[in-house]
């Protein structure tokens, strides 16, 4: 899904319709499906190791079903087990939650907030910095430190 943005001249009352920079209109294509983490990776702000760590963390977040839910889950109750590959969805979610919690613990208390907001909450760095009350441009450094610790937790080399 993509949308087009148009640059407009601003006044105190708001944007002037149909105006652009010096009479020209410029458009920008924004990929709404691109995550803030993939944006940073595609522009060289984080390396492959840190990107992979963030993607593993997001995968565990999604597998643990920690995002907002709309309805209840009605999985059948299992009576016997024959091995690890026979885990129910609830048991797989619990294992993913334990990995997710372990990764956030490894990142540390002060770094986990930025990590969760950018990787799992899909907030852009400036938005996360404002929400946490941090100075501008401090989030990238904090995010890199947190992702490095998470990469160590997941043993990504």
Give residue-wise pLDDT tens across range 41-56: 999 999 999 999 999 9
Give the contacts of 110 (CB within 8 A, at least 6 positions apart). Answer: 142
pTM > 0.85? no
The pLDDT of residue 90 is 85
Distance, CA of 25 to CA of 60 (rounded, Å) = 43
What is the residue extent of each domain of the chain? 1-33, 34-67+88-157
Indicate the length of the chain as a whole number.
157
For every residue of 103-115, DSSP letters joined together read HHHHH-HHHHHHH
Q: What is the mean pLDDT of residues 63-79?
A: 73
The tens digit of pLDDT for each residue in 93-115 reads 999 999 999 999 999 998 999 99
pLDDT at residue 20 above 90?
Answer: no
């Amino acid at each position: 899904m993509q949308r087009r943005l148009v640059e407009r001249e601003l006044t105190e009352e708001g944007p002037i319709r149909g105006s652009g920079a010096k009479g020209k209109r410029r458009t920008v294509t924004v990929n709404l499906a691109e995550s803030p983490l993939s944006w940073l990776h595609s522009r060289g702000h984080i390396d492959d190791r840190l990107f992979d760590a963030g993607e593993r963390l997001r995968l565990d977040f999604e597998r643990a079903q920690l995002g907002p839910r709309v309805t209840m889950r009605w999985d059948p109750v299992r009576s016997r087990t024959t091995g690890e590959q026979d885990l129910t969805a609830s048991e797989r979610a619990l294992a993913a939650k334990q990995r997710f919690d372990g990764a956030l613990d490894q990142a540390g208390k002060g770094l986990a907030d930025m990590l969760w907001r950018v990787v799992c909450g899909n907030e852009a760095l400036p938005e996360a910095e404002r929400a946490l009350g941090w100075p501008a441009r401090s989030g990238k450094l904090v995010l890199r430190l947190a992702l490095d610790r998470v990469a160590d937790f997941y043993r990504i080399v």
